[in-house]
Chains A and B, each alone.
Chain A
Amino acid sequence: MAKATLLLLVALSVAAYAQSVVVLNFTALVDVARPDFVMDVDGCSVYVYVVRDFETAKTPLLHTDVPEVRMPASPMESEEILDAFIKALGPRFKAYVTIIKPKGGSERRAVEISVHSSTELRRAIEEALGGDLARNYIEASSAVIKTQRPTAYPSSLAIEMKDAQVFLFFLSGGNGSKFFQVRKLVIEATRWEKTFEILSRISEAAGGRTPPAYIYIVPYWTDDEEGRKLVRVAEALERELGTVKKLPNGVEGTIHVLHYGHVGPYLLVFPYPNGSAPPDRVTAEKVVRRFIELAGVCRSPMVVEFWPKTGYEWAAERRGYTPLILAVAAGIAAVATAAVLILKRRPAN
């Protein structure tokens, strides 16, 4: 009996853990890993990390996870979450649909809709799209195979506020040979208070139950155009620094511009500007300032890491077979010698 109770408790705690509100704090990333120094460039904070050793370095990109907190949530059906989402944040949404094409590939399109409940959703999207909408990914892919015509299905609902973005993703999941539909609620904001205010509104609409959700505290949002511009700036600076070298299996010394999907902070990875020696503060500052000067923009906070090695490399491995053959031969010789020695040590009976 006691064992059964214990098992039940374990099962319940596992279920509670699976149904969580997961808070990821991207803004706190720079506080978790201590920078070598922080630069202030016209009010923009640049956190600079000089990596000397990949194994021991602790930077936002190395050996550091985005700070995470988990809180219990109420188990809720997908449709209940959708209803609460619409009721709490509606009626105006941006609906993203994915259109699957018969020859392969898909296209994403956004439409503006106005809905008051989940039952109105499909019709509202169909009206905005001017065509039929499959219920989900599974239905759409079956329809494409059957009809050989492009078919759309809803992929997410979004609402963009001044200081927050909220998404409800309609996902298909898989676990072994079983597939299922899930709703993923993502609340992004620059302030804690805002995210919890939005979550409270959804909870209230769900009759006091807290839906499982992902909460992202973000310093800012990135955009495609800005990202591309920073890559061009990186290329220009690489040329100025002269760090780029061709390798037999790739390239060395490039500057990488990274970010977490569409959320900040920007994470810039620079090679050492002077060969193999890590840059001193003056040199590092000079490089960072030049990057910002070329970019004409600095998003605060921004992370800059100087790495002993940058650039891309093949995912292949050169392997000559001669050493392997020699190793096998040496192994056989060692085993044979050991066998002879053991036999010699055996007392003769």
Chain B
Amino acid sequence: MRFITPPTRRDMPKPQLLKSVARRVKMWKAVLLLALTVVLVFAGLRDRENPVYPGVQIYSKSTGVICSAGIPVYPTSGGSLGFITASHCTDPSGAGNNVYQPNFSWGGDNNWAGFSIDRGTDNPYYEPDRSKPDAAVWVVANRGVSGKVPLRYCGLVDHPLTGAVDDPKSDLILPSIFKIGRATYCTGTWSEVRLIYDDRYSGSVYAAPISSLRAEQTDSGGIVFSITPCGTTICGIQAVGIIIGGYPQGNWQYVLIQNARYAMDYYGVELYKGP
């Protein structure tokens, strides 16, 4: 009986061996290139970052929820820098309300990145206290904070926030709208967008058509902003709010945004416009 076995490297004549090596090198190059591409595309927002900045991935251990960081803020009464993010992304205030970035890890410092102050609601539709926003403050510890919005994900240069749009509690027209979150990175439009005020939700919530502002699961808490161009540079970036959800379920036509100004006033914090 004769067994057919695949040829080993020694069985091959020399030129074939060379070809095989060349093929393998090419394949490894391709694999490396692919890996590098994957790393570059997904680098940053989903990695451990120091300093942390708007849009980075955060994780709350006891709720087990993956989200994104929102608007950089500081308490007007003094204290540590942090970010407004969604209340449903963090644990309620109290013991164990830790925030990890990008996620909990068993080794080292566990990726611990501070804690949350959460007096908001996890369900703004059902919330009986209509003043409660789906917003919380992530007080950053163990890391530095950058107030710069990572506009590199939008093909621009990183820039700090310069202000926050109003909370008119009626439809809001913005000259442009963008968001940065760990799921879909930078999405948005330079065209004028009408945000629809939706009083079916507590706090102050506006809806944007998904065609203008794409968002997906794990973009919750991510920063929503409007850019003010100034010649060939950026003159201003206005915080609009944070992503909290979308509707209808499973096939979003609209993305829900908790207004930034309302959330900041609720928690007594102000925009961090630093580097």
Contacts and interface: CB of A to CB of B under 8 A. Distances in A.
Q: Do A and B bind each other?
A: yes
A196 interface: no
B243 A179 contact: no
Interface string A207-235: 00000000000000000100100010001
Contacts of B221: 316
Contacts of B227: 174
Given A142-B230, A346-B8, A318 B65 contact: yes
Given A98-B175, A173-B190, A258-B254, A314 B244 contact: yes
A250 B125 contact: yes
Interface string A125-146: 0000000000001100110010
A307 B248 contact: yes
Instruction: Name the prevailing secondary structure of the A interface residues.
Output: mixed
B245 interface: yes
B223 interface: no
B194 A261 contact: yes
B247 A311 contact: yes
Interface string B47-65: 0000000000001000111
Contacts of A252: 249
Interface string A167-180: 00101111011110
B236 interface: yes
Contacts of A315: 86, 181, 183, 215-220, 222, 243-246, 255
A103 interface: yes
A141 B237 CA distance: 10
Contacts of B239: 104
A141 B244 contact: no
Contacts of B215: 315
A37 interface: no
Nearest to B251: A54
A256 interface: yes
Instruction: Name the prevailing secondary structure of the B interface residues.
Output: loop
Nearest to B175: A137
A269 B251 CA distance: 11
A256 B247 CA distance: 8
A172 B200 contact: no
A42 interface: no
Contact of B248 (A176, A231, A309, A314): A309
Contact of B63 (A176, A177, A178, A318): A318
Interface residues of B, number: 72
Contacts of A316: 65-67, 86, 88-89, 217-218, 220-221
Given A179-B229, A251-B123, A315-B219, A105 B249 contact: no
Contacts of A43: none
A252 to B, nearest CB: 7
Nearest to B155: A176
Interface stretch (B27-35, B76-84, B163-171): B163-171
B229 A138 contact: yes
Chain A CB within 10 Å — which of B104, B157, B219, B248 has the most?
A: B248
Nearest to B228: A141
B149 interface: no
Contact of A251 (B64, B66, B125): B125
21 contacts: A98-B173, A100-B228, A104-B239, A105-B164, A106-B174, A155-B175, A171-B190, A176-B156, A177-B156, A227-B196, A251-B125, A262-B194, A307-B248, A314-B245, A315-B183, A315-B217, A316-B67, A316-B89, A317-B218, A321-B104, A349-B10
Please provide the 3 A-B residue pairs with the shortest distance between their CB atoms, ordered closest to farther: A104-B163, A105-B166, A179-B229
Given A61-B253, A172-B175, A314-B217, 19 more contacts: A103-B163, A106-B166, A138-B230, A138-B235, A145-B162, A174-B190, A174-B229, A179-B231, A227-B196, A250-B125, A252-B249, A258-B254, A307-B248, A309-B248, A314-B245, A315-B181, A315-B218, A316-B218, A319-B59
Interface of B: 5, 8, 10, 59, 63-67, 86, 88-89, 103-104, 123, 125-126, 155-157, 162-166, 170-171, 173-176, 181, 183, 190-192, 194, 196, 200-201, 215-222, 227-232, 235-236, 238-239, 243-251, 253-256, 261
Interface of A: 54, 61-62, 98, 100-101, 103-108, 137-138, 141-142, 145, 155, 169, 171-174, 176-179, 184, 224, 227, 231, 235, 246, 249-252, 254, 256, 258, 261-262, 269, 307, 309-321, 346-347, 349
